[in-house]
């Protein structure tokens, strides 16, 4: 599952010349559903979207608050073209979930989004319709999100968090340079050479003419 999240001052959806949905300050989410997506990917994406920190706090600090913290609105629009694969210059959409299955999946996504937040603040377009989406991007701020691959070991949120922490520790270790213990292991062992002046010295002397 892929999503493009834009921070907006306002956004709306028009179908057939009629505006069917609109929000003020908040985020607009363009969502592309893959043939491999399951409930696990759905829940992951809902959690990431609602917790994405793209707003400033009361003191003006950027990237501190999510849409729920600010009690802003969310506009969701289904967009299968996010699952595009180019064949030369021609878009191919075989990775997108088929329409009949995708509509049910998308409705489940909206339901989960409303359960996790305030349902009255969630708006959406019209699935399968030809829409004009008007977005007033604030910043501009645009974030791309992608759920872990289906069946991947890191699709478990707890495992993903664990792997992220391990990677952070590795980066800190590299930044500090080699540890003392590794320096000791790599340093020449002078004491070994001096201690071997007995037997090894005798052997080397026997080899000399």
In a domain, 202, yes or no: no
Q: How is residue 34 annotated by DSSP?
A: B
Q: Where are the beta strands (DSSP E) in 26-180?
A: 26-32, 73-78, 85-87, 90-92, 122-124, 131-146
For the four alpha carbons of 157, 70, 111 and 76, in that order, the dihedral sign comes to negative
Task: Collect all residues with Cβ–Cβ distance below 8 Å to 75 and sequence separation of at least 6.
Answer: 8, 11, 12, 13, 21, 22, 23, 26, 27, 28, 29, 123, 124, 125
Of 6, 55, 80, 105, the catalytic one is 80
**What would the pLDDT profile of 32-75 be if each residue is shown by its tens digit?**
999 999 999 999 999 999 999 999 999 999 999 999 999 999 99
Of 6, 55, 79, 83, the catalytic one is 79
Which tokens sit at 185?
């292991």
In a domain, 198, yes or no: no
| pLDDT value, residue 148 | 86
Q: How is residue 98 annotated by DSSP?
A: P
**What would the pLDDT profile of 6-16 be if each residue is shown by its tens digit?**
999 999 999 99
Active site residue 71: no
**pLDDT above 70 coverage of the chain, percent:** 72
CA–centroid distance for 20 within its chain: 30
Total count of domains within the chain: 1
How far apart are the C-alpha atoms of 95 and 55, rounded to whole Å?
A: 33
In a domain, 156, yes or no: no
Task: Collect all residues with Cβ–Cβ distance below 8 Å to 205 and sequence separation of at least 6.
Answer: none
In a domain, 37, yes or no: yes
**What would the pLDDT profile of 109-140 be if each residue is shown by its tens digit?**
999 999 999 999 999 999 999 999 999 999 99
Active site residue 55: no
**What would the pLDDT profile of 25-44 be if each residue is shown by its tens digit?**
999 999 999 999 999 999 99
In a domain, 110, yes or no: yes
Active site residue 101: no
Q: Is the pTM of this model over 0.85?
A: no
Residue 114, domain extent: 2-146
Q: Where are the beta strands (DSSP E) in the chain?
A: 2-15, 18-23, 26-32, 73-78, 85-87, 90-92, 122-124, 131-146
Of 9, 19, 39, 81, the catalytic one is 81
CATH assignment at residue 36: 3.50.80.10
């Amino acid at each position: 599952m892929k999503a493009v999240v834009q921070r907006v001052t306002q956004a709306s959806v028009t179908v057939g010349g009629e505006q069917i949905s609109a929000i003020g300050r908040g985020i607009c989410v363009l969502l592309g559903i893959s043939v491999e997506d399951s409930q696990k990917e759905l829940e992951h994406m809902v959690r990431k979207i609602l917790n994405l920190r793209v707003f400033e706090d009361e003191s003006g600090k950027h990237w501190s608050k999510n849409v729920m913290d600010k009690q802003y609105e969310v506009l969701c629009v289904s967009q299968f073209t996010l699952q595009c694969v180019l064949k030369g210059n021609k878009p191919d959409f075989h990775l997108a979930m088929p329409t009949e299955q995708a509509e049910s999946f998308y409705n489940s996504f909206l339901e989960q989004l409303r359960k996790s937040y305030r349902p009255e603040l969630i708006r959406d377009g019209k699935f399968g319709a030809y829409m004009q989406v008007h977005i007033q991007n604030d910043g501009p701020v645009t974030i791309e999100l992608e759920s872990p691959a289906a069946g991947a070991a890191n699709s478990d949120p707890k495992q993903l968090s664990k792997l992220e922490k391990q990677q952070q520790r590795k980066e800190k270790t590299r930044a500090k340079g080699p540890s003392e213990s590794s320096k000791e292991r790599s340093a020449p062992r002078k004491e070994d050479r001096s201690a071997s002046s007995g037997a090894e010295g005798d052997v080397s002397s026997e080899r000399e003419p």
